[in-house]
Structure 1
Amino acid sequence: MSVEQTGASSQFYDKFNIRYNISHIMKTIWNHPAHRQKLREESMNSDIFTRFVNMLMSDVTYLMDESLSKLTEIHQIQLEMNDQAAWEAQTSQYRQEREGNLPSLERQAQSYVALGKETVHMLKYMTAEVIQPFLVSEIVDRLAAMLDYNLVQLVGPKCTELKVANPEKYHFEPRKLLSEIIDVYLNLNSEKFVEAVARDGRSYKKEYFSKAASILQKHGLKQADDIHALEKFINRVEIAIQSGADEEEELGEVPDEFLDPIFFTLMEDPVLLPTSGVIVDRGTIRTHLLGDTRDPFNRTPLSMDMVQPGKEFSLFYTHISLINNIPSIFLKNSC
C-alpha cells in the first residue's frame, strides 16, 4: 500500500504500526452490517483480495515468530538471573550485556505481541465470514503450514520456554491466542483445507491438537461442541494423510521431471517461465508472484500473463505418467 512507502530506513517496521491502526479500523467496520457486506462483496475480487489475504498471512507469520522468539529470549535471561549462584559466577561483562539486552527485548515483545494478537484476531473473524479467498491454491497450503507451526509453538515441546515472569506485562495471553488459532481451523473446515493440513509434513501432528483441545476445555475457552468439531476435523485430516500415503505408494518413485523445482512437489499444471526457461507448477509461480513480481530464477520482471503452458513438457508428462501408471488425479491440469 502506498501509505506504507515512507522511504524511511525504518519503513519495514513502520508498516506494522500502520497496519495495527488499520486493523482497528477494519474491526470497527466489520461490526457494521452494511460495511461487512461490502467487504464480503470485495472479497469476490479474487486478485485484490487474494493479495490482501497473502499480506495478512505473511504478517501473522512474521509477528508471531518475532513475538514468541522475543519471549523465549526473555524467559532464558530470567532463568539465568533467578539462578543466583550461576549468575554470580558469570563475568561482569556477560551480566551487563544480558541485563542491558532485557529492556530492549521487553519493548520489542510488547510491540510484537500486541500487533500479533490483532492480526490473528483479524484472521479469526474474517475466516468466520469469508472463506473462499483463504482456500485458493496460492494461499491454502501456506496458511495450513503457518497455523500448524504456531500451534507447535504454543503447545509443543518448547512451549515452556514462553513462560515468562509477569506475562501481563507483555500482554501475552497464550490460551486466548491458542483459542483463536483453533477458531481459524474450525472456520476453514472444508475438504480443501483438510487436505492442505494433511500435506504439511513439517509441523502437523495429531497429538498437538489433542493437547490444545485439553487446554482449551480445561480452562473453559471452548465448549463441548467446539471440541467435538475439532476432533472430527483431525479425524478427517488423518484419513486424508492415509489416503495420500496409499496414493504415494501406488505412485512409486516420481521422476525428477515431474517435480516442481521450488517446492519439489508433483506438478499438476506445468508452465514455462519465458525468460529463465524453467518449468514450474502454475500454482507455485502464482503463489510466488503474490509477494514478488520477478522470476525467482533470474530476477527479471514477471507476471502470470507472461507464463506459457508447458505443452511439450505436458505431453511428455502424460506419456511417462501412462507408462508408470500414475493415477489420473495427478494429471487433471497437465495438458
Structure 2
Amino acid sequence: RDLNEYLFEPSKLVAKVTDIYLNFAEYDQFCSAVSNDGMSYNEQLFPQAIEVLERIRHPRERIDAFLKLGEHIKTIADQHKEDDVIYNDAPEEYIDQISSILMNDPVMLPSSRTILDRSTVIRLLLDNQIDPYTRDPLHMQ
C-alpha cells in the first residue's frame, strides 16, 4: 500500500504530536500526567521522535525543546517510581480502591460512604456520575 495514496505521512504526524506536547510543556500537571500514563508513556519514544524530527529537518529549537521536555518527563517518571517503592507497603486504608494509588486527597462518597482519592471521583463524575458501589447518582458538592 502507498501511504501517500491515503495522505498518511507518519513523519508529519510525529512533528504535530511533538508540537502539541511542547505547547503543554510549561504545565507541570501535563508533564506529570504523561509520566503517569502507564499505557502509553515509554521513555524510549522520545529519542525515536527526535530522530524523526531531525530526519525531516524540524526546527532545531523545537527539537531541543522536545529533548528537554523528554528529560523533564523522565525525571518525573523516575520520581514516581521512587515514590511507588516508598509507598508500596502503605496500609490498605490509604490506597484508593478503584485506581490502586496512594490517596493524596481522600473524599467520601455520600451514598456508599466509600473513601476514594479526589482524582478518582472526578473521573467517575466525568464518566457517568454514578456511585460505583451503590449505583446512586453522584454529584460534586
| TM-score grouping bracket, smaller chain normalisation | 0.7 to 0.9
Take 2:121 and 2:87, find their aligned partners in 1: how far apart are those partners?
Answer: 25
Q: Deviations over 1:7-52 (max 9, x none)?
A: xxxxxxxxxxxxxxxxxxxxxxxxxxxxxxxxxxxxxxxxxxxxxx
The residue matched to 2:44 in structure 1 has which SS? helix
How far is 1:210 from its partner? 0.6
Asked if residue 216 in structure 1 is aligned to residue 53 in structure 2, the reply is: yes
Structure 2 segments unaligned to the other structure (5+ residues): none
Change over 3 Å in CA distance of 1:173–1:296 after alignment to 2: farther
How far is 1:206 from its partner? 1.9
Take 1:274 and 1:251, find their aligned partners in 2: how far apart are those partners?
Answer: 28
Take 2:62 and 2:44, find their aligned partners in 1: how far apart are those partners?
Answer: 17
User: What TM-score do the two structures reach when normalised by structure 2?
Assistant: 0.86
Structure 1 equivalent of residue 10 of structure 2: 174
The residue matched to 1:217 in structure 2 has which SS? helix
Change over 3 Å in CA distance of 1:173–1:298 after alignment to 2: farther
Structure 2 equivalent of residue 261 of structure 1: 97
- Structure with higher Rg: it is 1
Change over 3 Å in CA distance of 1:251–1:280 after alignment to 2: closer
How far is 1:242 from its partner? 2.6
CA RMSD of aligned residues (A): 1.9
Q: What amino acid is aligned across from residue 19 of structure 2 in structure 1? A: D
How far is 1:209 from its partner? 1.0
Structure 2 equivalent of residue 201 of structure 1: 38
| Aligned equivalent of 2:112, options 257, 262, 276 | 276
How far is 1:252 from its partner? 4.6
Structure 1 segments unaligned to the other structure (5+ residues): 1-164, 306-335
Q: Deviations over 1:270-313 (max 9, x none)?
A: 111122232111121112212312222332211112xxxxxxxx
Take 1:201 and 1:248, find their aligned partners in 2: how far apart are those partners?
Answer: 13
Relative to total residues, which structure has the larger helix share, 1 or 2? 1
The residue matched to 2:113 in structure 1 has which SS? coil
| Aligned equivalent of 2:124, options 288, 303, 309 | 288
Structure 2 equivalent of residue 246 of structure 1: 82
Q: Which runs of 4+ in 1 moved over 6 A?
A: none
Take 1:291 and 1:245, find their aligned partners in 2: how far apart are those partners?
Answer: 28
The residue matched to 1:175 in structure 2 has which SS? helix
Take 2:62 and 2:12, find their aligned partners in 1: how far apart are those partners?
Answer: 15
Take 2:63 and 2:49, find their aligned partners in 1: how far apart are those partners?
Answer: 10
How far is 1:188 from its partner? 0.7
Tell me if the contact between 2:22 and 2:65 (Cα under 8 Å) persists in the aligned partners.
yes
| Aligned equivalent of 1:230, options 44, 66, 88 | 66
The residue matched to 2:104 in structure 1 has which SS? coil
Q: Deviations over 1:235-258 (max 9, x none)?
A: 112222232333334445122211
**1:1-335 equivalences in 2 (<5 Å):** 165-189=1-25, 190-220=27-57, 222-305=58-141
Q: What amino acid is aligned across from residue 206 of structure 1 in structure 2? A: E
How far is 1:166 from its partner? 2.3
